[in-house]
Chain A
Amino acid sequence: MAELSDTLFYVALGVYVLAMVAYFFAMAFTRVTVDGVLSSTAAGTRAGRVGTVLALFGLTTHLGSSVLRGLETGRIPLGNMFEYSSVIALLAVAGGLFVVQARWGHVHLMGFVLAGATLMMGSGWLLFVPAGPLVPALESYWFNIHVTAMVGSAAIFMLAFLATALYLARDTAERRVAARSGQRFGAGTVGAASVDVGDGRDAVTADSVVASPLELRRALSPGWFVALPAILLGLYGSQGGARGVVGAAAVGGALGGWAWYAMPHLPSAGELDTLAYRITAFAMPIYTFGVICGAIWAEEAWGRYWGWDPKETGAFFTWVLYAAYLHARATYGWRGRRAAWVGITAYVALLVTYFVVNLVVVGLHSYAT
């Protein structure tokens, strides 16, 4: 059963990559008209459908993998970083498919969700641990509630991060296009989507800003879009030697280039910003609940609810940064890009808490292997 679970994991990973490619084709075969309306060719529609079917198939396989691991070990499959990463990816894909794509209709974001999920799965795969039992400290129902909430919120925060990152890119593009067409901006509100209409109020006139959708692509340098993710992921891959660097950089560059190409297809900056906020606002109570459950469990297991263990500290600073994001969204002069950068920082903090604190800093929560 453990072997089947592992096989299903690899199948899901492969199918996600294929689905990602299909979504990319669906986008490439979709034209964006002058007023920002998307119209797919027959091939594009078909590719989109193939992508959706593949993503659903991958999701089912992935779910099977996690369930089998749970049955094999007789516990919820969240006992080590491999299982943890896998379930984060699983929930992110599910959220992407059923909420972002089906409910909100943002088909062209789904490919990015799959990219995030496969990266998460890939890094989990590097930390592969065969199915095994838990140490006694983890055998508690509070543990189940705690990790479920943590994994759930981590997956949702991943979606929020994608929306935030794409918002920053799209917003830059919209601003540049608007600057070229000589329009003035309102003071510090969401994105270039709000243009100063002259009487001191910000009017949301996204359509008027976008003179030509292709302008949005031309406004940004593809070089940076390829180079930056390539460097970042390359650094991450450096643990795997020269091949790791090249492979990871190639993946990063391809994803960055795709983001650049997708610029006209993305929802407007204003929409992306709202999306990011809504998703973060949804994740935040779950995350808070998870941290509280963690404290209760720590009280049961170790006799103190909070001890500034590195992991607890990391969870705290992630929480503080997300709280700062929510506050920034409500603060004049911080809304828009500044708030978005806070959101990006918060997600980086989450990743650091997850990866670096688990693998590098030794504490009570270090049970990666």
Chain B
Amino acid sequence: MIPGPWETVVIAWRRLQRMSTALILLFSLAIASVVATFIPQEPLVPETVAQWRTGAAGPGSDVARVLDGAGMFDVFASWWFATLTALLLISLTGCLLPRYRAFIRTVRRQPVAGRNLTRLSNTTTLTTHADPNAALTAVDAVLARRRLRRRRLAAEETASGHAQIAAEGGHWREGGNLLFHTAFYVLLIGVAVAQLFGFTGQINVVEGTTFTDTRIVYGNIRAGRWFGIDDHRGFQVRLDDFDVTYHGSGVPDDFISTVTILDEGEVAREGSTIRVNHPLRYDGMKLFQLRFGMAPRVIVRAGDTVLFDDSVMLGDNGGVWTGTAKVKTSGPDQIALDLALLPDFGLDARGRPISRSPSADNPVLFADLWVGDLGLERPIDASRFIRDGEPVAGVSLVPGGTSDPLVGNLTVEFAELPMWSGFQVSHAPGRWTMLVGSTLLLIGLVSSLYSYRRRVWAEAWRDDDGTTRVVIAGVALQRKVAFAEAFAALADEARADLTTSDARPARETTMSDAHHG
């Protein structure tokens, strides 16, 4: 018989509630992340993904098309990953709801009376001269010190007909378990808040220049749906100074940007530093030190007319800093410069120019001058202008140096060598939610793994020989070995306490079959 729509929903819900379904979903999640580890992901390495798509790298463009269709290049934003997460959350909710109910019921319930105490896995019998009531009170104090919840039962209420204390503890096991799983909802809220209200952008600034926190200045923007253009703060950041030091091996040791923040014309922060691992917080935004480079100030003149005067941000190309300057982008005789900078100029054994160290101790700028129809009017990256044949001239300059007049009356000057610094500017709400969520997760995990449900009972009665018998017994549902040790300690403490209230030592017989756990 084919089930109706309502039955189908019920069957699906029941199936999702099952632990084995949750396990299979967890496995699928693991497999998805394996896929994401070995197939390049577009948000991380867009260039590689582009190469896979064209077939220049990877298994070929046909395979790439299939992968693309299945969202494999952006697994964590794909519809099937979202479905998987949603199913897992539904499954989690299905598991949790009945367990919350059961947990509240269990926590509220008074400890149950024990029967046949001497037949439990951990029992101790003590003999004392104190009267049964006092003996039970002494044991009660021991149990109270272990923060067990206790309940005193009169003789009529128990099966054995003796007065009894029923104690119980370890609700933190299930409590921690629930806390652990509930923490995922908190984490999810944190992720959602960050996704919807967050912003991240990147910007490179040359020493001495200023940028304003507006949407248009940033590159690599990731903005949440509800972080609008008007949500930018509009403060200004001026890069006053940038410093970098190197280890002997050429690895950067530390790089520090010193900035001034201006808010509505007033200086809000002065001399603030931004370093890797030490971001600067201002007005809900965080500025992170990301990258840096050299930005030689180049002036190109035609006779006395200044055609170009700007700092050109160069990128590190294996010790050589390279970049392009668009000098004149209109007309038939466009002008561009290919720049290469050696920070510490020297010659190697074969007389070729090299950089002896990464710091700008002896900088030399090499400029190749291109003149003609370079295609600079097209909206493309400056570095990709049309290079036909050879550059019209090549010069090498030291700071402050100016070239002899080149083609026509063009001169190139290497005015000075400031640095540029790259920042990431982020607004990341929900961080505290994430921190709270992960803390709850950890607390829940630890207590669910280490805490254990246990019950302890104590009975006392006057025996025929006039002494008082005290039976203490306990069982644990989990971690039975640990409980056997804890129980032995408890029994010792009870015996010691009963002895102090009574001149003669209490005799004891202890039995434990905990190793069957």
Please choose the segment from B24-32, B149-157, B360-368 that sits at the chain A interface, where 4 or more of its residues have CB less than 8 A away: B24-32
Residue from the list A133, A300, A326 in contact with B247, Cβ < 8 A: A133
Add 15 more A-B contacts to A317-B31, A361-B38 (CB < 8 A): A132-B251, A133-B249, A133-B253, A135-B251, A281-B450, A302-B288, A303-B288, A307-B43, A308-B36, A310-B37, A317-B34, A320-B29, A321-B26, A331-B19, A349-B30
**B512 at the A/B interface (Cβ < 8 Å)?**
no
**A285 at the A/B interface (Cβ < 8 Å)?**
yes
What distance in Å separates the Cβ of B81 from its nearest Cβ neighbour in chain A? 11
Within 8 A of B (CB), among A196-242: 204
Q: Is the interface of A mostly helix, strand, loop or mixed?
A: helix
> Residues of A contacting B442 with CB < 8 Å?
285, 288-289, 292
**A313 at the A/B interface (Cβ < 8 Å)?**
yes
A302 vs B76: C-alpha distance when bound (angstroms) = 19
Contacting pair B438 A204 (CB below 8 A): no
Find the B residue at minimum CB distance from A280: B449
> Residues of B contacting A295 with CB < 8 Å?
434, 438
Find the A residue at minimum CB distance from B446: A285
**A32 at the A/B interface (Cβ < 8 Å)?**
no
A299 vs B428: C-alpha distance when bound (angstroms) = 10
Contacting pair B276 A363 (CB below 8 A): no
**A57 at the A/B interface (Cβ < 8 Å)?**
no
> Residues of B contacting A303 with CB < 8 Å?
200, 279, 286, 288, 424, 426, 428
> Residues of B contacting A330 with CB < 8 Å?
19
What distance in Å separates the Cβ of A18 from its nearest Cβ neighbour in chain B? 34
**A184 at the A/B interface (Cβ < 8 Å)?**
no
**A165 at the A/B interface (Cβ < 8 Å)?**
no
CB-defined A-B contacts under 8 Å, sample of 14: A136-B275, A139-B254, A302-B288, A305-B431, A308-B44, A309-B44, A310-B36, A310-B44, A314-B33, A316-B33, A317-B29, A317-B30, A330-B19, A331-B23
Within 8 A of B (CB), among A319-350: 320-321, 323-324, 326-328, 330-331, 333-334, 349
**B103 at the A/B interface (Cβ < 8 Å)?**
no
* Count of chain A residues near B, Cβ 8 A: 49
Contacting pair B445 A284 (CB below 8 A): yes
Contacting pair A333 B428 (CB below 8 A): no
What distance in Å separates the Cβ of A278 from its nearest Cβ neighbour in chain B? 9
Contacting pair B277 A301 (CB below 8 A): yes
**B141 at the A/B interface (Cβ < 8 Å)?**
no
Contacting pair A308 B279 (CB below 8 A): no
> Residues of B contacting A132 with CB < 8 Å?
247, 249, 251
Contacting pair A288 B279 (CB below 8 A): no
> Residues of B contacting A310 with CB < 8 Å?
36-37, 44
Interface hub of A133, A288, A299, A317 (most chain B Cβ within 10 A): A317
Within 8 A of B (CB), among A271-303: 281, 284-285, 288-289, 292, 295-297, 299-303
**B123 at the A/B interface (Cβ < 8 Å)?**
no
> Residues of B contacting A302 with CB < 8 Å?
288, 424
- Mark each residue of chain B from 506 to 517: 1 if its CB lies under 8 Å from any CB of chain A, else 0: 000000000010
A314 vs B27: C-alpha distance when bound (angstroms) = 14
> Residues of B contacting A284 with CB < 8 Å?
445, 449
Q: Is the interface of B mostly helix, strand, loop or mixed?
A: helix
Contacting pair A357 B247 (CB below 8 A): no
What distance in Å separates the Cβ of A80 from its nearest Cβ neighbour in chain B? 12
What distance in Å separates the Cβ of A156 from its nearest Cβ neighbour in chain B? 13
> Residues of A contacting B200 with CB < 8 Å?
303-304
**B116 at the A/B interface (Cβ < 8 Å)?**
no
What distance in Å separates the Cβ of B132 from its nearest Cβ neighbour in chain A? 37
Contacting pair A136 B26 (CB below 8 A): no
- Mark each residue of chain A from 237 to 271: 1 if its CB lies under 8 Å from any CB of chain B, else 0: 00000000000000000000000000000000000
Contacting pair B434 A305 (CB below 8 A): yes
**A140 at the A/B interface (Cβ < 8 Å)?**
yes
Residue from the list B31, B37, B276 in contact with A137, Cβ < 8 A: B276
What distance in Å separates the Cβ of B397 from its nearest Cβ neighbour in chain A? 31
> Residues of B contacting A313 with CB < 8 Å?
33, 36-37
**B20 at the A/B interface (Cβ < 8 Å)?**
yes
What distance in Å separates the Cβ of A331 from its nearest Cβ neighbour in chain B? 4
**B228 at the A/B interface (Cβ < 8 Å)?**
no
Contacting pair A327 B19 (CB below 8 A): yes
What distance in Å separates the Cβ of B63 from its nearest Cβ neighbour in chain A? 18
Find the A residue at minimum CB distance from B32: A317
A326 vs B449: C-alpha distance when bound (angstroms) = 9
- Mark each residue of chain A from 125 to 164: 1 if its CB lies under 8 Å from any CB of chain B, else 0: 0000000110111011010000000000000000000000
Contacting pair A304 B428 (CB below 8 A): yes
What distance in Å separates the Cβ of B174 from its nearest Cβ neighbour in chain A? 12
Residue from the list A140, A309, A320 in contact with B26, Cβ < 8 A: A320
**B435 at the A/B interface (Cβ < 8 Å)?**
yes
Contacting pair B277 A139 (CB below 8 A): yes
Residue from the list A135, A296, A309, A331 in contact with B20, Cβ < 8 A: A331
